[in-house]
Amino acid sequence: MALTDIDKNLLKRCIAEEPGAWKDFVDRFIGLFTHVIHHTAHARSIRVTDNDIDDLLSEVFLVLLANDYRVLRNFRGHSSLATYLTVISRRVIVKKMVERRMAEALGHVATTSRLERVSDEPSRQQQMIDDQEEIQNMIRQLPPADAQIVEQYHLQGKSYQQISSDLDIPENSIGPTLSRARSRMRENKSRTRTL
């Protein structure tokens, strides 16, 4: 689908920072971004609250506004604006969901809490790298079959259905395996801290 005149005009107005342009942009595409959040959460077997949705929408809008609308300026018009924005928003949403899963695996946030908003501060980025390394180290201490499931779920962000298909295991065995693995990882982490 080609870029419509309405979207072309809206894009031009946003980039020129005309009064009311950003509000019109948000009004036009907030429904699309909300749909992408719901679809992505469903595909990854993640429950999202209204607060989670608000947080994820904020993250998407921050990316679109960053560096003087760089993402919007990079749009070349080879598809519809909605298609382009779907791809961009899905990348942001998946990244944030994976970050949340990693934090949950370490017990940093509760499963029912709001999605953690992660800034681009260097210290926070370093913490995420350290957390990922810690998760990798803990995964290595698990039996190989459990490690594969934990890695696919927490680090690759795959749904139970995808893991079941990839590893040829019953879908209803994944939840209990993840629970056992998390318990082992917490125990190992506690032991490491007391040493």
Give the CATH number, domain containing residue 26.
1.10.1740.10
Range of the domain at 97: 5-105
Mean pLDDT computed over every residue of the chain: 79
**Taking each helix axis from N to C terminus, what angle separates 81-105 and 122-140, rounded to the nearest 10 degrees?**
60
Quote the CA–CA distance of 98 and 85 in Å, as a whole number. Answer: 20
- At 19 the pLDDT is 93
Q: Three-state SS string across the chain, please?
A: CCCCHHHHHHHHHHHCCCCCHHHHHHHHHHHHHHHHHHHHHHHCCCCCCHHHHHHHHHHHHHHHHHHHHHHHHCCCCCCCHHHHHHHHHHHHHHHHHHHHHHHHHCCCCCCCCCCCCCCCCHHHHHHHHHHHHHHHHHHHCCCHHHHHHHHHHHHCCCCHHHHHHHHCCCHHHHHHHHHHHHHHHHHHHHHHHHC
In this structure, the answer to whether residues 76 and 35 fall within a common structural domain is: yes
- Domain-embedded: residue 111: no
> One-letter amino acid identity for 155?
L
- Check residue 114 and give its pLDDT: 45
Q: What average pLDDT does this structure show over 125-130? A: 51
pLDDT at residue number 176: 82
Question: What is d(CA 114, CA 127) in angstroms, rounded to the nearest whole number?
Answer: 19
pLDDT score for 193: 55
**What average pLDDT does range 116-123 have in this prediction?**
43
126 and 100 belong to one structural domain: no
Q: Residues 148-194: pLDDT tens digits?
A: 887 887 677 778 888 889 999 988 888 888 778 777 776 766 665 55
Is 99 in the same domain as 141? no
Q: Please state, in angstroms and as integers, the Cα–Cα distance from residue 94 to each residue in 98, 111, 134, 166, following that order.
A: 6, 16, 21, 19
Least Cα distance to 49 among 94, 118, 115, 119 occurs for 115
Task: Note the pLDDT of residue 111.
Answer: 47
State the amino acid at position 84 in one-letter form: Y
* Whether pLDDT at 69 is above 70: yes
Last residue of a domain, one of 105, 134, 160: 105
Per mean pLDDT, which range of 32-36, 84-88, 117-121, 126-130 is the poorest?
117-121
| Residue 30 covered by a domain | yes
In this structure, the answer to whether residues 99 and 129 fall within a common structural domain is no
pLDDT at residue 76 tops 80: yes
Number of domains in the chain: 2
Range name among 8-12, 67-71, 98-102, 166-170 with the lowest pLDDT average: 98-102
Convert the pLDDT of each residue in 37-51 to its tens digit: 999 888 888 888 888
In sign, the C-alpha dihedral spanning 31, 87, 15, 118 is positive
Q: With 90 as the cut, is the pLDDT of residue 131 above it?
A: no
- Say if 190 falls within a structural domain: yes
Between 21-35, 40-54, 124-138, 154-168, the lowest mean confidence (pLDDT) is in 124-138
Length of the chain counted residue by residue: 195
